[in-house]
Structure 1
Amino acid sequence: MVADFDDLPPLPEAQIAVCALGTTRAKAGSDAAFRAVDRDAVLAFARAAQKAGVTHFILVSSVGANPNSSLLYPRTKGEVEVALAAMGFARLDILQPGLLIGPSGYRRAERRPVERFLQWAAPVMDLAVPRDLGSLPAETVAHAIVALTKHSKPGVFRHTNRAIAAFA
């Protein structure tokens, strides 16, 4: 079932919610469709989570997220981070990984030649870029999310590759 983010049913009561929702501009088909997923749907889910009593929200965003960027992807990610921080969750963890690497699984049917090349080239490229800008196994991000569910100190926390790897 595909969720209608404009009209989400009430979510079950919970203390923690995790959002790793996202797409690509190419997959979405337009800038507006991309923003409808990566911004609007993420924020709709966050509002629904807050109504369900969530006090700890965990978001998988991206390295380079910046609401003032001239580029669509980092600007959208940055706008979401700012909006979530303003929502007043007791704890907000924002993971900002670099390129996620790992088995493509559900993406096998999709043609993503640039992403496929970057994953192949990541070990060499990682030697030339700062650690927080390099690649990170998706499994490491998943382990960090689980670890972060055990943290309760209030505030807004941004975690780049180094911190994500340390949590994992």
Structure 2
Amino acid sequence: MTILLAGATGLVGSRVLGVAARLARRVVPVGRRATGMAGEVVADFAALPKLPRAGTAICALGTTIRDAGGPDAFKAVDFDAVLAFSRAAQAAGVRHFLLVSAVGANPGSPLLYNRTKGEIETALATMGFDRLDILQPGLILGPRPKRRPVEAFLQWLAPTIDLFLPARFDHYGAVPATSIAAALIALAGQSAPGVYRHHNRDIVARALDLYVNVN
């Protein structure tokens, strides 16, 4: 099974590569920055070439308004690039698409970040993939190349917050990037049709199932 992967150099995407390598899964990175992997596609998402044939695609693209440099640049990544990748993947034969979104995604939200995440989820759901898995993690734990002071503080505080977070709100808690990556690889092996959304608890459960089944 060949998996196309957008966002391979990011926090979650780089860990997807690591998990896939340990399980001998073939992944073809697609993006603007090279990973050094054989067969990768290095191109701008605004002008993607024809992608290699594949049945599954994972999109781990994402940024913040601050890192992107403004609202328009943010939407260019979190909506335009994601949509471009999904269309190119579908043209390459992909029938199963997996997206790393975020908790709180809502096309009707007054917050640009949550609204954009919700809008791309809605757009993907209308594309006709046989199966669409949308992961909506809370705070993603892991080292980032760019220092984000507030996020770094929240990551440091996350274990304490999670201790006091009521079970019904645990989807707003923290989840390690490695768990998200493992869940993505586990879900990539599923074939039941439909649109599925996964929050923290299910993400961690899928990751644990993967490790239990391969060890």
Q: Does TM, normalized by the shorter one, top 0.5?
A: yes
Q: Does 2:152 match 1:116?
A: yes
* Mapped partners of 1:164, 1:68: distance in 2: 25
State the structure with bigger RCO (CA 8 A, min sep 6), 1 or 2.
Answer: 1
Q: CA shift at 1:7, angstroms? A: 1.3
- Which residue matches 1:126? 162
- Which residue matches 1:21? 61
CA RMSD of aligned residues (A): 1.0
Equivalent pairs, count: 164
Gaps of 5+ in 1: none
* Mapped partners of 1:167, 1:88: distance in 2: 25
| 1:36-55 equivalence runs, <5 A | 36-55=76-95
Q: Deviations for 1:77-124, whole angstroms, at most 9, x for unmatched residues?
A: 0000000000010000000000000233xx1xx231001001000011
- Which residue matches 1:97? 137
Q: Percent identity?
A: 63
- Equivalent position amino acid for 1:46 in 2: S
TM-score by length of 1: 0.95
Gaps of 5+ in 2: 1-30, 33-42, 208-215
* Mapped partners of 1:141, 1:67: distance in 2: 23
* Mapped partners of 1:46, 1:115: distance in 2: 29
- Which residue matches 1:79? 119
- Equivalent position amino acid for 1:39 in 2: F
* Mapped partners of 2:160, 2:120: distance in 1: 31
* Mapped partners of 2:128, 2:161: distance in 1: 38
* Mapped partners of 2:120, 2:189: distance in 1: 24
Q: Give the ranges of 4+ consecutive aligned residues of structure 1 lying more than 3 Å apart after TM superposition.
A: none
Q: Secondary structure of 1:93's partner?
A: strand
Q: CA shift at 1:127, angstroms? A: 2.4
Q: CA shift at 1:45, angstroms? A: 0.2
- Which residue matches 1:60? 100
